Amino acid sequence: MSGPARIIQGAILAVAILAIWSFPHPMRAQTISHPDGRLRYAIALHGGAGVEPHKLTVQQRQSLEESLRKALELGADMLAGGGTSLDAVERVVCFLEDDPQFNAGRGAVFTRDGRHEMDAAIMDGCSRACGAVANVRTVKNPIALARLVMTRSGHILLAGEGAEQFAEEMKVQRVDLDYFDTDARRRAWEVLRANEKNRPVPVDVDHGTVGCVALDCQGNLAAGTSTGGLTNKRPGRVGDTPLIGAGTYADNAACAVSCTGIGEQFMRHVVAYDVAARMAYAKQSLEEAVREILQRTLRPNDGGLIAIARDGTIVMDFNTTGMSRAAADSTGYRVVKLGR
């Protein structure tokens, strides 16, 4: 082979190698930047679908919006400072779990036997590592325990007594059972108990499942969700929140999703994963995937979801009367809403 031919062959090989390395890979983070060189991040969170803004007092609405705003700024500041999407998601969900306005952590609804059973899940879109807990009763922040399940247990989902034992081993913060009680949740439970003969199936009258999805400056996605379940549910019932693919999902190749609503419906249709699958296989945009699921797959008033695509696109949609939600990104976009 002549000298010029070898040079040309070498150049072609170099270009081919560069092209392979540059091709987006779901397991390797891609840095996403604005034209001016600033690294990009995005975050969205929810405090449950089904909220009816027109039924809230001015004070109730302001209090709910202020809590969402504080949670949003907490997560956005972490991402703007170079924090990871996983850390931001966990911290935001912990903040919402500590707020008794929501049905997660303190403020969780009552089960039929007058206690609390909480579920949570978290997922890393870079590695698809995930962790979840179900029916925990003494863990102050179930989302923190879910992350430890992901990183320290060798498993994905721990439930009931096994999850409580793991919490003891991990030395996470535990609280007395009445820590989660609130007067509002107790009243709602008592009303359902009084009318149980007329309404034997528990319903989600106390909306407030919380969740967060984020894209960090390294291009990694993450999702987390936490809930107290349904008021007056049977002890041991588990909804979609801790089931990876049903209520929580994240994959750097597509999107991160956190769902809220009637858990059984989201489980039947594996909604969180379906959003990502539609993007991967049907080549739908995030907006198209979410719209079709809410309008064609789910029934009216089933719930809603928040999602962020790998390019930072944020979608927050629902087919209920409202959904408390907030979102921000590095362009300066900020929104906090309860209704349409």
Task: Record the tokens describing residue 90, joined without a space.
Answer: 């966990």
The catalytic position among 111, 209, 227, 320 is: 209
Contacts of 171 by beta carbon, 8 Å cutoff, 6+ apart: none
User: Residue 325's beta-bridge partner residues?
Assistant: 46, 337
| Angstrom distance (rounded) from CA 141 to CA 115 | 16
> End-to-end CA distance of the chain, in Å?
69
Establish whether 231 is a catalytic residue.
Answer: no
Task: Record the tokens describing residue 314, joined without a space.
Answer: 């944020």
Dihedral class, residue 270 (left if φ above 0, else alpha if ψ from -120 to 50, else beta): left
| Angstrom distance (rounded) from CA 329 to CA 340 | 20
| Angstrom distance (rounded) from CA 272 to CA 11 | 44
What angle do the packed helices 58-80 and 85-97 form, to 10 degrees?
A: 160
- Annotate 142-154 with DSSP letters as a single string: HHHHHHHIIIIIS
**Taking the CB of residue 283, how many other CB atoms lie within 10 A of it?**
9
User: Residue 223's beta-bridge partner residues?
Assistant: 123, 213
Angle at 180 between CA 176 and CA 182, to 5 degrees: 130
Residue 284 · residue 255 · CB < 8 Å: no
| Angstrom distance (rounded) from CA 269 to CA 279 | 16
Task: Record the tokens describing residue 279, joined without a space.
Answer: 């993007």
Q: Strands 221-227, 118-124: parallel, antiparallel or unpaired by DSSP?
A: antiparallel
Would you name the residues annotated as active-site residues? Answer: 209
